[in-house]
Amino acid sequence: MSTVVRETQETRVRVVLARGDGMARVDTGLKFLDHMLATLARYAGWALSLEARGDLMHHVMEDVAITLGAAVRQVIPATAARYGERTVPMDDALVQACLDAGGRFFYRGPLKSPLYEHWMRSFSEHAGLTLHLRVLRGTDRHHVTEAAFKALGLALRDAMVDSGAVFSLKGSVVMEVSECSRGD
């Protein structure tokens, strides 16, 4: 389980995340974002509790992506299957998500919504994911965005399976980070 809290002058976000039953309790004050996050949790097979408040929609969305990404990074097993790929149809939309949960960030979209495009990039960066989203078909932004969250969730579900093996010729990567005080 991972608990991450992010506070700035603009926002406060609290995430509790574990691999689980797909149940989510989400309250960001943004109904569509709440729906997308609950959808992501359901399809990824997570137990998620997420609360967020902030001054502007953009700030809330970005800080939720950063905080959730950081929580996801903490719960990816060291011996994760790493790779996931799913394509999801939703009415007029057809969206493919391909990812590597191996700790290296790269994102390629785009989605039809600049806010959700930014959300995916911020989430991927802080989760340490390589994520490629391809909108194969679709004109309705709601359907495209929701299909993207569903495809991402299913791909994450596959990638986060504990395989019992390290899928890298490098073996396990160990990295220690020590904090230093600013101005030193």
Count of domains for the chain: 1
User: How confident is the model over 65-100, as pLDDT tens digits?
Assistant: 999 999 999 999 999 999 999 999 999 999 999 999
Cβ–Cβ < 8 Å for 93, 135: yes
Residue 145 lies in a domain: yes
Within-domain flag for 43: yes
19 lies in some domain: yes
> Cα–Cα distance between 16 and 6 in angstroms, integer?
12
Predicted pLDDT at 172: 58
What are the tens digits of pLDDT across the range 20-41? 999 999 999 999 999 999 999 9
Residue 149 lies in a domain: yes
Domain interval for residue 72: 2-159
Whole-number Cα distances in Å, 116 to 26, 63, 119: 17, 13, 5
CATH code assigned at 21: 3.30.230.40
Do the beta carbons of residue 41 and residue 48 sit within 8 Å? yes
Give CA–CA dist 184/174, Å, rounded: 26
The answer to whether position 175 is within a domain reads no
Question: Which residues on neighbouring strands pair with residue 107, listed in sequence order?
Answer: 131
Q: Of all residues in the chain, what percent carry a pLDDT higher than 90?
A: 85
Phi/psi of residue 3, each to 5°? -120, 125
Crossing angle of helices 31-44 and 57-75, in 10° steps, is: 10
**HEC profile for the chain?**
CEEEEEECCCEEEEEEEEECCCCEEEECCCHHHHHHHHHHHHHHCEEEEEEEEECCHHHHHHHHHHHHHHHHHHHCCCCECCEEEEEEEECCEEEEEEEECCCCCEEECCCCCHHHHHHHHHHHHHHCCEEEEEEEECCCHHHHHHHHHHHHHHHHHHHCCECCCCCCCCCCCCCCCCCCCCCC
Query: Global pTM?
Result: 0.90
Residue 179 lies in a domain: no
Task: Please tell me which residue, 172 or 125, carries the higher pLDDT value.
Answer: 125
Residue 166 belongs to a domain: no
Q: Quick check: is 142 in a domain?
A: yes
